[in-house]
Amino acid sequence: MEKLATGTSHAKVILLGEHAVVYGQPAIALPLPDLAMTATIEAREEGQIVIAQGYQGPLATMAEVYEGVRQLIVRLLRHFNAIKTPFTLRIQSSIPQERGMGSSAASAIAIVRAFFAFFETELSDAELQRWANIEEAITHGSPSGIDAATTAHDVPVWFVKGEKPEPMSMALHGTLIIADTGVHGQTGLAVSVVREQLDNEPEATRPHIDALGQIARETREDLANDDIQSLGRHMNDAQSHLSALGVSHPKLDELINAANQAGALGAKLTGGGVGGAMLALAQSDEDVQRIIQALEAAGAQEVWAQRYPQM
């Protein structure tokens, strides 16, 4: 057993396919390696202490929003036959919570990696995903798996529900800009909005879901070929369909309009919607600065820019 061990992960965004992925359509998720999560485990004389954003104290008294994390840690300790092993677990994160960026999955990935390193045990990718989904299932009820797959890897992920996530190649010279509306996203509520429309107005709703799936398929080619003009158009088209499904929000619309007026190639919500975050695509460094200034002027709470190496 190591005296000190570390596990890492990072944030993610869904580029395309939100909500449609629930109904069998593909989705594309991108890693955000600049927004990192680190879990560090250190041996101690006695006690099991967790230090995280919003909680500092014994493992046994973790509850509510941290219940998924507590359950995961207990299951890991049981797996290693170390249920009473004393430790301090520190979780440090630059990922905003409740913004559709995979904070929950990223914490699970980092914790699992840290515990396997602490107990000097090899960890396969399949095992990592299985362990991370324990926390995700408790926290979110019925996770698709896309968050755990993307927060664990530094490459884009092609995801179809019920199928193994598929790493994608990407040649993207543009820059993604992510902006926080300041309104907590409500994924469960947003999913219910779409489900209600599909149940009661299937003929009007199903075409939007199918269109989002087709946009994701076409965007896969955009990413592989570095066609950022087409990618921007597809982002705008997707936003139109997501708005028609009722999952946008006045604050999202305000930031999306601000980005487009400042020269973004495309802009859309990301994740569940009804608040949360949005994405904009910029071609040049000058465009990036202009779009960021426009988003801040429109009331964005935080703004991040993510550039990608060739993948």
147 is catalytic: yes
Cross-strand pairs, 56: 51
Q: How many residues does the chain have?
A: 311
Which one from 34, 125, 147, 199 is the annotated catalytic residue? 147
3-state secondary structure the chain: CCCEEEEEEEEEEEEECCCHHHHCCCEEEEEEEEEEEEEEEEECCCCEEEEECCEEEEHHHCCHHHHHHHHHHHHHHHHCCCCCCCEEEEEEECCCCCCCCCHHHHHHHHHHHHHHHHCCCCCCHHHHHHHHHHHHHHHHCCCCCHHHHHHCCCCCEEECCCCCCEECCCCCCCEEEEEECCCCCCHHHHHHHHHHHHHHCHHHHHHHHHHHHHHHHHHHHHHHHCCHHHHHHHHHHHHHHHHHCCCCCHHHHHHHHHHHHCCCCEEEEECCCCCCEEEEEECCHHHHHHHHHHHHHCCCCEEEEECCCCC
Q: Count the alpha carbons within 13 Å of 104 in the hemisphere toward its beta carbon.
A: 23
End-to-end Cα separation, the chain, in angstroms: 35
Question: Cβ distance 132 to 165 under 8 Å?
Answer: no
Query: How many Cβ atoms are within 10 Å of 164's Cβ, its own excluded?
Result: 10
- Residues tagged active-site: 147
